[in-house]
Structure 1
Amino acid sequence: MDDVFQRWKQLTQRERNVFVVVKVGNELEDDYLMELCLRQLSLKQRNKILARKNRHDQRMALLGGLLLRAILSLEYEMDILFEPEITVAPCGKPSIEQLEYNMADDESVIGLVFRRKDDALQLGNVLEKLPTKPLGIDLADIQTIKQFQEDPLQLLRSFSDIFHPNETKVLERELPRHTEEKQFEILTQYWALKESCSKYHGVGLHQPLHQWVYRDISVLQIEKSLKEDEMEAGLSRIHLRKLDLDWNYYHGTEPAYVCKLTSRIIASVIADAKPIVVQMSEQLIIDYAKRNSK
């Protein structure tokens, strides 16, 4: 594990915000391995995961829970999973003592953005503690958005309660200028922005999404997006690697960073500085669970 600890430190120690991405494969289709990993969580968490409607959703929730523990283990250079004390706010936003974090998943990708709560900034000879600010994240799948409605403009009207009236005016004017594919991409960006903003404020869907206002959402470039085959390649040998992705920066209710993780998945992160992106292998998370079971 020494090389993994060193790699983690090399990638993350000087960074303010870190966005960890995991591509979920078929490892946990094995019943024994699934049960072994489930045992690393509390009974309450296990029951919550098993209550999900299908095996895929169960695997995603399980790996999300293990991912947080694996990140903490890497932070403290521990060979077994770190068990955090998780508290949950009235609207459901979880928190822990060590990190400010937020998590999302979609399709077969899990994302977790975090910031160390003890971050400090060197100002001359004084080490000044940086203010603790929340984080928000959402992953949105263009194909999922398409399933709601075949026509982008009709989708805009069908989900009018998501958009502020000013956003609706802009979208009705701008969407026809793009191809249908790009129209769905722009609408998916708006969805991701709204969801990440509601999670930033810790309210989930308890407050209407139209109150989070964004303007002039541009079409994301895909030249540097993480292609699906790249997410699979080499991760049996490489547990951690930095991803060079293009981010768009948007002003709105809260400033947001948006990027295209794959041709389908758009990520929105609400943060006070652009995050670096680190891909973690599913295998590293499972290896931690196996060590924990000994």
Structure 2
Amino acid sequence: MNVLVASISGEKVTETRCRKNLAKKLGLPVRRLSRGNRIRTTISKSEKSCWAYVCRKTRKDALSEEIKRLAYNFWMKHGISRHTGNKADVKRERIGPKTYSSHQVYLLEKTQTEVYIDFTTEYPCIKLSQRSFENCKPYFIRQVRPKDRQTCCCRYHVETKSAFKSCMNFRKKLLNENDAYDENNVHVYDYISDIVDVTLCNKEDNVHKISCLKRDCGECGINKLELLPKETAAGDLDTAQIVKWERFEKVDIKVKGNKTIKKLVLVKKETKAVELFSHFLELLKSFPLHQHRATWQNKQ
């Protein structure tokens, strides 16, 4: 209340001697307006008092700006965090009215506790709690999520990821509805990389052979992937279930001037499961080599 009263009790009110009339119009006591005028005069006339009113006293154990900046830069060090490699991953934060700050998203390569331990090891003389250290983390740094495993946003990755998700959802539905399948023998994969590793030979020095990636190896291939009868043509097509999935197709789109152009669009389809799995197997033939190239380019 004192702030509001002080804001309307200006010098003009005192000069024109209209404090009583102003109090009647506002429905306030005259003493309250006088008190607001006294506070306003104290703030505006005395430099020391003005500083005491508008500035907040900091605690003795408050972090200095140097320590905050040191912790802020430590979060962005090499080995602590890295950028996603995708130009579309941009984090925006509001810093004022209609004013925003944008920065590329960075992903943590360690847990926040491990980052804090590294900081205390490198700077043992700085006494800083983990909560205060995490508060100094930049707004554009976040932990890794499962979808960040995707290193490329091209057509092959988007279409393969969509088909893989639809296939695994269909397989989960089969396991829940049919008790004849053994859950230990039927695998429901969580990531595309897991199902790709099944169709390839074992890694040598943490890298697959180039012949395996190109599907030139005779010991591996998509035939190593075991499918259920209802997922292949071996099942009864008349009783096959209808599934929803997506794939890229060229569609005619009307543009200005009554013209029609063909554009590659992700089209939703509703077909039998056999068509979905056959399409997914076709994608798996060329996907490992494409994934290898995308990962290599991201590391450069």
Q: Which has the larger radius of gyration?
A: 2
TM above 0.5, one fold? no
Give the TM-score normalised by the residue count of structure 1: 0.28
Q: Which has the higher helix share?
A: 2
**Which structure has the higher relative contact order (CA within 8 Å, separation 6+)?**
1
